[in-house]
Amino acid sequence: MKAIQYCQETLHLNAFRAQELVDAAEKEIKSSDNSAIYSSKNSSQKPSTGGIIGGTIFLIIGLGMLGFTTHLFLKHQDFMQRAMPVMSTVTEYEQYESSDDDGGSTTMYTPIFEYSWNGKNYRQASDMSSSSQDYAIGESVELLIDPDNPQAILINSFMGKWLLPILLGVMGTIFTLVGFSVIRIIRM
């Protein structure tokens, strides 16, 4: 009512014209308020392109790791089905320096195994290295060998058989979950 009276007195309008003007102004104000609210809601809900790209990269890396883990697991299973156990002796260690991102380095040790298969002697380095010498020189270690390729070996222990697939599987799962979560949260 006060707005109508103000328009009548200030603009010298009759009551009907003042009412129309106030109604139009109210409608305009509500319309602009709603579009501002709608605009701010939409801009805050618009998915972040950088976040979606980052989440997708994590997802792809995670799925790749899980795919490679599955391949490695199946390859190990196939190898273990045809592998034969053989006793070997640790004869020495190869060592090398492994550098880290901070410019430091760690000495890594790779055991060398000697063993016999079908009357022939073999000398083979492990495919696993460690920052410590896990076996004593002269220690007996059971290996699994491929009878068709006796130089293909696997240390017959839980760590020797499953460390790499487990590590890759855990990392792949984490990357996949993070990527999926980021994409899902951003799209909400």
DSSP code, position 48: P
> Per mean pLDDT, which of 51-55, 117-121, 177-181 is the most reliable?
117-121
pLDDT at 36: 46
Please tell me whether residue 180 adopts helix, strand or coil conformation. Answer: helix
Lowest mean pLDDT among 36-40, 83-87, 89-93: 36-40
Give pLDDT, residue 38: 47
Query: Is pTM, for the whole model, over 0.85?
Result: no
- DSSP string across 84-106: EEEEEEEEEEEEEEEE-TTS-EE
What's the pLDDT tens digit per position in 62-80?
A: 999 999 999 999 988 899 8
As a 3-state breakdown, the chain gives helix, strand, coil percent values, each rounded to 5, of 55, 25, 20
pLDDT digits (tens, 9 = 90+) for 157-168: 888 888 888 999
